[in-house]
A = this chain, B = another copy of it.
Amino acid sequence: MMNGSLGHSSELHILEHKLRVSNLKKDAISSYTHALIKISLLPRSRPRFFSFTETRDGYTIIVEDDLCKELPQSESIDMPDLVWRVLTVSAGAYGSHQLTGINRIVKTVISPLADFKISVLVISTYQSDYVLVKEMDLDTAIKCLSQNYKIFKDSGMGLEPVTLSIADRLDGMTKMNERKTDEHRPIVHPFTCPMNRFHVTSLDSRMLPSLTTILLDLMFYSKTPVDERYEPFFHISIVEGDISLVLDSEALSRFPEGSLYTNTNDEGWKMIRVGDTPLGFDESGVAAQIAEPLADVQMSTYYISTYGLGHTLVPESEVDKAIELLSSLQVI
């Protein structure tokens, strides 16, 4: 029965990184600039998984466990004592359908984890999508996802297949079968859509040194937009040398022409922010509530979780349709 629903050999990889997620208050960024540059941007920085997202409410910073000691403790930073693991579907497993972003993994990863009440953080990048689960939930997640994927764990020495007992596999199947796939989850949080036009881009890591001053400016010296219909949002991730940026048109305009890659059909994206006050890390299903209905209508979406808020990027031309659809599912 494994892989049956996808019809080809689909692999899900559990990366070896052990991550810590922290939230930094808006006004404390100057005290953390030194540490964050050291982790991410120096010539000798080699982050294996680094994610930095500025939102209206603060900065969500994801770093490897052994680097989080670089971040000074203070009242301005909230760093729960939780280790997160990274799941990602191997690139070859997407098959022929050319959807962009997370709708490739909504039905096979995000929905099942929501059904199992496992809370996740989703980080879309230009190259891939990463689903973070708490280390304490990892065994349950494996049980859940083994219905759809061959699962491999990266031990640091290479990928090793994960084998499950028959009981565990049956347990997973039973839960899966309870799911009513024709019914959408209610959306239990408010959402808003700021005016900014966003772009999902990448840069060649060899270009990083020459673009560092622009990145420094965007990461650490942002200004709140004067027009309240616009929201501050900037995201950079560095994963094994792959650098990905989600930034609005104003930020994009600061880069020299041609220094960033965008998808050839990049028409600009709008962001739907879910949640108004930080939702915390314990709630499950938030990403699924938004992503499932959009995947059902074949909409390309990116998703970036921050400290309890969800940011869904949808094509600019489809934003009205997305909002209409999501509004119809809202129960607040």
Query: Which residues of chain A have a CB within 8 Å of any CB of chain B?
Result: 29-31, 33-35, 37-38, 41-44, 72, 208-214, 216-217, 220-221, 254
Contact = CB atoms under 8 A, between A and B. Distances in A.
Given A33-B37, A34-B30, A213 B209 contact: yes
A218 to B, nearest CB: 10
B217 A42 contact: yes
A273 to B, nearest CB: 27
Nearest to A43: B213
A31 B216 CA distance: 16
A42 B221 CA distance: 9
A209 B38 CA distance: 17
A254 B42 CA distance: 12
A217 B33 contact: no
25 contacts: A29-B34, A30-B35, A30-B72, A33-B33, A33-B37, A34-B34, A34-B220, A37-B216, A38-B221, A41-B213, A42-B216, A42-B217, A43-B213, A43-B214, A43-B217, A43-B254, A208-B213, A209-B210, A209-B211, A209-B212, A209-B213, A209-B214, A212-B212, A212-B213, A212-B216
Nearest to A37: B216
Q: How many copies does the complex hold?
A: 2
Contacts of A30: 34-35, 72
A212 B210 CA distance: 8
Nearest to A217: B42
A213 B211 CA distance: 9
Contacts of A33: 33-34, 37
A316 B302 CA distance: 59
A31 B220 CA distance: 13
Contacts of A213: 41-43, 208-209, 212
A216 B41 CA distance: 9
Nearest to A208: B213
A210 B209 CA distance: 5
Nearest to A207: B210
A29 B35 CA distance: 11
Contacts of A216: 37, 41-42, 212
Contacts of A37: 33, 216, 220
Given A31-B31, A43-B213, 18 more contacts: A30-B34, A30-B35, A30-B72, A31-B34, A33-B33, A34-B34, A37-B216, A37-B220, A38-B221, A42-B217, A42-B221, A43-B214, A43-B254, A44-B217, A208-B213, A209-B210, A209-B211, A209-B212
Contacts of A31: 31, 34
Contacts of A210: 209-210
A216 B44 CA distance: 11
Nearest to A72: B30
